[in-house]
Chain A
Amino acid sequence: MDGRIASPGRRRIQPDAPAAIELRNIDKHFGSVHANRLVSLQIKQGTIHGIIGENGAGKSTLMSILYGFYRADAGEILINGSAVTIRSPAEAIALGIGMVHQHFMLVENFTVLENIVLGAEGGPILNRGLAEARTAVDTLKRDYGLDVPAGALISGLPVGLQQRVEILKALYRQAEILILDEPTGVLTPKEADHLFAVLRKLRDEGKTIILITHKLREVMAVTDSVSVMRKGELVKTLDTRSTTPAELAALMVGRSVNLSATKSHRKPGRCVLELREVSFTDAAGVERLKNVSFALHEGEILGVAGVAGNGQSELLEILSGMLRPTAGHIFLHGQSCLDLTARSLRRRGVAHVPEDRQHMGLVMSFEACENIILGYHDSSKYGAYGLLNRHAVIDDAKKKMHAYDVRPHLPLLRASLFSGGNQQKLVLAREIDQHPDVLIVGQPTRGVDIGAIEFIHQRLIELRDRGKAILLVSVELDEIRALSDRILTMCNGLVVGECTPAAAESAISLMMAGISPDKAA
């Protein structure tokens, strides 16, 4: 793939050797959440194996089980063909498993070398251990091209180098199996390319590498085989060479229940919300949105499809006034609304159903009635002179909970005691009942039972039929296609293309993988 790093001496692996890692029917529950469902997987020695899936698909849980952070409820782990029990990371390390975490586990004010020997100092006299380590680390650095200044402090190193220290740490502990959890999340593209070169070299030396990621580009660039996880299940394991990004995207997003939302044909009206060249760079310097432009009209549902984490969350927060774009313009009813706070945006009829209702849309320790006024509490109907009229709040909550069939019908019950679907109905009742002109919705049916899904979809379509504009962000492709009048697809912060809901699923999958329709044609 990359001529520079083609290794001359790729180690021979016996064809009949047992798999380096074999997982048999791994099952894990966290309370009511089924994080891993009977996952079985074989990974051959000397290969790079990708595990992809969306956030919450169960990838990290599976790897944490392999690394001894969690214990599976059921199932077996075999390393090089023999069954093992891994009760702690220490036991995993003893079995030759190393892990590079998404958030580095390094001591910032220690040197590189001190971090590498940390926990493996080899006796109470530190200097001797450090001297031995220095030689060993020098060899490792030379062998794998992992160049890091051994005496430098971690805090002074760029993240790319910090990651190399993590890899060296694992190799110093004689890891034969290396697990990397979302390794490129913090890296620049150039740093990522270097990482891949290192990984290939490690593989050629006979190490087995597991790469957890949700980026298709990486899977295609560096892995030999790939497993797709969705909702705790291992959906499929494929040979990387014989698959395509579009196929992987389709497998990741999956098909949910057959959604049959019926909606009348409508001609969209005037443009209410327009984005021009909106970009956003986060505090870490990563560009999350790149020149996003689109228009949202009265009486239409504009769907935004894409694999989670490709800029949709930032888009939602910018449109609701919680984040400020770093560049570009946004117009509401033809007027620039960049300087408006979240409060004044709400007053001008922009309502927001956030993606994460438990951490953003609701205060879980508050009563339902207190949640029903969140964001609208300063309205005079909930009390004058800065006072909060509890009777008015409870009456309002009763009405809304009745209209949206929130069960149990108890305005004084804490939000945390409602089911996911009823929590979502609380949020929707609050936002839709303010009669907004524009509704920004993120993942309206995530974690919601089927009955509630149908109810929520009907409410969204009703709102559209009343001539209101809805921006719908969802990772459920079927939901987007069932509800939207037009579909935008995002990948890597870019709007890759626009299509109608009638477009073929394969076309949308291609766009979700970042391949624009004109390029594909």
Chain B
Amino acid sequence: MNRRADLPWWADYLLIPLLNLAAAFVLSAILLIAIGEDPLAAARIIVEGAFGQAEGLGYTLFYATNFIFTGLAFALAFHAGLFNIGAEGQAYVAGLGVALVCLYLDFLPRPLIFILAAIAAGAFGAAWAFVPGYLQAKRGSHVVITTIMFNFIASALIVYLLVNRLSPPGSMQPETRTFSPRARLPFLHDVLAALGPSISQSPLNVSFFWALICCVLFYILIWHTKLGYELRTLGANPMAAVYGAMSPPRLVMIAMMLSGCLAGFMALNEIMGSQHRMILDYTSGYGFVGIAVALMGRAHPIGIILAAVLFGALYQGGAELAFESPNITRDMIVLLQGLVIMMAGGLEHLFRPNIERLFAMRRPSIAGAR
């Protein structure tokens, strides 16, 4: 975070992300030309598929909901200087919590089911992130290593539970029974239909609004609470945190649990809002893409929403593209998405040094300037 000390905000928050995105698009275009496709036509199909009609838009926002949760999860830990690579596993375990509530407590009043499911999602995700947090805080085991390992443990645990414990008797499918309609989050098209306007069906459900509320809560926590101040201090200068009478181990554990909690909310969208049952590998990489979303969104809720919608559009528009052009297979789409993730996440610092040098040339002395 310190490294970007000397860029004006617009270069940091707009210019560099757009440059990275442009580079990804150029690379994608070269790839498409290489297999004999027209990149402009492909781009049109992606944009129309993602935003063209209500159905496509619904899918885009449905995917974006996942990315907002996992993006916020990574961003929160990032503010405290931690790399939580485990949103995938935390969301996976949170799916279990949601499923347990929806399977066994579905006799309760509906609002209560929703609240309990949200609590279970957050608590299971937080608990799964707590162990790596504790190990880093008290034993010095780096969270990058432990959270990755915990993804595998989560995967093994859920496979065991779905195969041996939670699948209904007589079923060969490694999944739970379908939740009763009472324990499902309302689809947005149903909500709107009840209010009057009718839109085409998509898995977009009310957890999208919870994602937006989480963005507001995230903003307040990070920039307008004392806990957020302490987390940011720890992330920016751990020595200053010790000097400022804070307890880094405590903050590390809190940051990891809050991060895991946010990742866990993704289960509300997928499990309770769309699948209506707990299935194997339902997280399918959303946790990892959340890293790119958070980095591209500069760990700020507004940026994360924009980046999440972009990735949602790539997922939805990409699916349309694979459907429309026989030459472009599903694997090709994954490759294109991978290019964007690579440029926005992995190579986030590719253009930064040059941009910084450019600005340093333009303004030889910035001391005292505003």
Contacts and interface: CB of A to CB of B under 8 A. Distances in A.
Contacts of B226: 377-378, 382-383, 386-388
A416 interface: yes
Interface string B330-370: 00000000000000000000000000000000000011111
B236 A366 contact: yes
B5 interface: yes
B227 A386 contact: yes
A327 interface: no
A386 B225 contact: yes
A405 to B, nearest CB: 14
Contact of A388 (B5, B225, B368): B225
A354 B244 CA distance: 11
Nearest to A321: B245
Interface in B275-314: none
B229 A377 contact: yes
Interface stretch (A21-29, A232-240, A292-300, A341-349): A341-349
A343 B229 contact: no
A364 interface: yes
A417 B5 CA distance: 9
A387 B243 contact: no
Contact of B229 (A362, A370, A419): A370
Nearest to A342: B245
A451 B313 CA distance: 58
Contacts of A408: 368, 370
A216 to B, nearest CB: 29
Contacts of B239: 359-360
Contacts of A386: 225-227
A79 interface: no
Contacts of B236: 363-366
Given A413-B370, A417-B366, A364 B229 contact: no
Contacts of A366: 232-233, 236
A391 to B, nearest CB: 11
A264 to B, nearest CB: 33
A10 B247 CA distance: 59
Contacts of A362: 237, 240
B243 A322 contact: yes
B2 interface: yes
A160 interface: no
A357 to B, nearest CB: 10
A63 interface: no
* Chain A, interface SS category: loop
Contacts of B153: none
A365 B245 contact: no
B2 A365 contact: yes
* Chain B, interface SS category: helix
Interface in A350-384: 352, 354, 359-366, 370, 373-375, 377-378, 382-383
Contact of A364 (B5, B232, B243): B5
Contacts of A354: 243
Contact of B5 (A407, A416, A418): A416
A410 interface: yes
A390 interface: yes
Given A364-B5, A413-B370, A388 B240 contact: no
Contacts of B192: none
B240 A363 contact: yes
A363 B247 CA distance: 16
Contacts of A374: 233, 240, 243-244
A23 B229 CA distance: 50
Contacts of B243: 320, 322, 342, 352, 354, 360-361, 374-375
What's the interface size class on B, roughly? 20 to 34
B224 interface: yes
Nearest to B4: A365
A407 B367 CA distance: 11
A413 B366 CA distance: 12
B1 interface: yes
A414 B242 contact: no
A377 B368 contact: no
Contacts of B369: 417
A438 B237 CA distance: 25
Contacts of A414: 5
Given A364-B5, A366-B236, A388-B224, A375 B245 contact: yes
B88 interface: no
B224 A365 contact: no
B62 to A, nearest CB: 33
Nearest to B368: A408
Contacts of A342: 242-243, 245
B245 A360 contact: no
B175 interface: no
Interface string B241-255: 011111100000000
Interface string B1-21: 110010000000000000000
B178 to A, nearest CB: 42
Interface of A: 320-322, 341-343, 345-346, 352, 354, 359-366, 370, 373-375, 377-378, 382-383, 386-388, 390, 407-408, 410, 413-414, 416-419
Given A364-B237, A387-B225, 11 more contacts: A322-B242, A322-B243, A342-B245, A360-B239, A363-B233, A365-B1, A365-B5, A374-B244, A377-B229, A417-B366, A418-B367
17 contacts: A342-B242, A343-B245, A343-B246, A359-B240, A360-B239, A362-B240, A365-B1, A365-B2, A366-B232, A377-B230, A386-B226, A388-B224, A388-B225, A388-B226, A407-B368, A408-B370, A418-B367
Interface of B: 1-2, 5, 220, 223-230, 232-233, 236-237, 239-240, 242-247, 366-370
The 9 nearest A-B residue pairs measured at CB: A343-B245, A342-B245, A375-B244, A374-B244, A363-B237, A360-B243, A360-B239, A363-B236, A363-B240
